[in-house]
Amino acid sequence: MKPLPVSGSACQGGAAWPRVTPEALRHAWRSGAEVALLDVREEGAFAQAHPFFAVSLPLSQIELRSLDLVPRLTAPVVVYDDGEGLATRAAARMTALGYSDVAILDGGLAAYARVGEVFRDVNVPSKAFGELVEAIRHTPSVSASEAKSLIENERDLVVLDARRFEEYRTMSIPRGISVPGGELALRARDIAPSAATTIIVNCAGRTRSIIGAQSLINAGLPNRIFALRNGTIGWTLAGFAVERGRTDRFLRKDIVDPSVLADAEAWATRTGVALLDRETYHRFCREVDQRTLYRLDVRTPEEYEAGHGDGFVSAPGGQLVQATDEWVAVRGARLVLFDDDGVRARMAASWLKQMGWDAAVVGPDVVDPVETGHRAPRRPDLPDPGTAVIDAATLAADREAWTVVDLARSPAYLAGHIPGAHFVLASRFAGDLARLPGEGPIVLTSRDGAEALFALGDAKAATRREVRVLEGGTRAWAAAGLALEVDGHSLISGADDVYKRPYEGTDNAAAAMQAYIDWELHLVAQLANDSICNFHVV
């Protein structure tokens, strides 16, 4: 594949990385070339402004997530920051992992903003695509007030909640049944067998409601189908009560109705989705060193854990369309989707094709379920800490002598941490370790200890204090029967490592929810201004 044109280089510690201009990057996106653009700032900063196809991969998470996000070590990778000095450090760490085509975005975010649109929030390509689908297909929708009237007065009606089950269980609207978006086309006829039944599809905001409702229309259902406009946000802003703790889930059925499969096949053909035979699929697998390949199992997590193909990761279809960048970082890559029913993979792939992805599907005639259980993230071998390690029992026996630094994501830290532990972001060691109290030795911990091990070298370089790593991390501390602290906390670094979504949870401010809806409604105009998406709504 033709390499990205470069201009100049950036150096650190004697190593040099080429620079890629924003114009060259945008040309690569327009042409369909492979490239991964990685924003190595924390997610909070990423959510404030980033290029359209940028993927959030904070510096401290590179070893933990990059091998899944960018599986081909020879794929073109461009990293950037906004002047914080993180990009050169990230380039060094990506190179140390074995990536051979790493560059830095020339001028960072500020330079990109002079030639292209920058976007707020997260999962922007998927959300912008959802808005474009509604604008072009005129997906039918009802307001919260209209939906409430239908729910209260129409007996022959079902409400299908297209979010993840965990979100549904946290809060839902009356009569809602959990049917995650990737399941809708497969399950809806079982739940609403009569063509006279009205169907309302809802989510938290807008995207999954729109895509879910339009999926049922594309799949040929004859029912009256509506998206709940603005989802549970719109419902809440209208002053209506939500229900909590519901567990009503979609019906299970082992045999797929032939008409459901036929409709899915017809729609997939119309959108250009290919069904791979064994020979073609294995050719794709042999070519993974020349063309990036993502293998994605779009069934439910429970089905995935019961048995899945070699190399496939769990990517439930609705979430894959809603948040593609959480699985796939290399724009221009190949995507192969698997199911065992012929419906879910085709419907998900049909959306991905319209989003400009090279997506195809395979079935159980090609891929055998040779693995079971949860697939652990791909990571490099953990570095050997030598003597710089301490176990939970030793730390507990002399707890006051040690200053504990917790590198977990801030929500995990706030949910429970070793008593007295201080929250510090590894990307901010240079300034923040000096702000720790005391002068004694430091113990690094993280959820399972892996992030702490990868951060050990940076910590030692940033402080004169002795630094050790807690073996097994905070999880080992808890497994030893030692208490975690919830009420007290010490945030040495600002907790901007995770962006608080205004559409998840139950404690969101009305102003934040309204601002989010207003932002979504302007995405189509911003998409047109940017002109690099390669979206094509059928």
**CATH code: domain of residue 446:** 3.40.250.10
Please tell me the predicted confidence (pLDDT) of residue 316: 97
Please tell me the predicted confidence (pLDDT) of residue 4: 72
Tell me the pTM. Answer: 0.95
Q: What is the mean pLDDT of residues 421-427?
A: 96
134 and 243 part of one domain? yes
117 and 23 part of one domain? yes
Spatial separation of the C-alpha atoms in residues 332 and 358, rounded to whole Å: 7
141 and 243 part of one domain? yes
Residue 98: count of CB within 10 angstroms of its CB: 11
Backbone angles phi, psi at 443, to 5 degrees: -115, 125
| pLDDT at 7 exceeding the cut of 80 | no
**Average model confidence (pLDDT) across the chain:** 95
Tens digit of each residue's pLDDT (9 = 90 or more) over 105-128 = 999 999 999 999 999 999 999 999
Single-letter residue type at 339: D
Position 309 confidence tier, pLDDT thresholds 50, 70, 90: very high
Closest CA to 358 of 330, 335, 388, 331: 335
Please tell me the predicted confidence (pLDDT) of residue 264: 97
40 and 76 part of one domain? yes
Contact (CB, 8 A) for 72 and 330: yes
Tens digit of each residue's pLDDT (9 = 90 or more) over 451-507 = 999 999 999 999 999 999 999 999 999 999 999 999 889 999 999 999 988 878 777
340 and 421 part of one domain? no
Please tell me the predicted confidence (pLDDT) of residue 13: 47
110 and 160 part of one domain? no
Q: What is the mean pLDDT of residues 391-412?
A: 96
3-state secondary structure 223-276: CCEEEECCHHHHHHHCCCCCECCCCCECCCCCCCCHHHHHHHHHHHHHCCCEEC
Please tell me the predicted confidence (pLDDT) of residue 1: 42
**Domain range spanning residue 450?**
389-491
Please tell me the predicted confidence (pLDDT) of residue 344: 98
Would you say residue 538 lies in a domain?
no
| pLDDT at 14 exceeding the cut of 50 | no
Single-letter residue type at 132: L
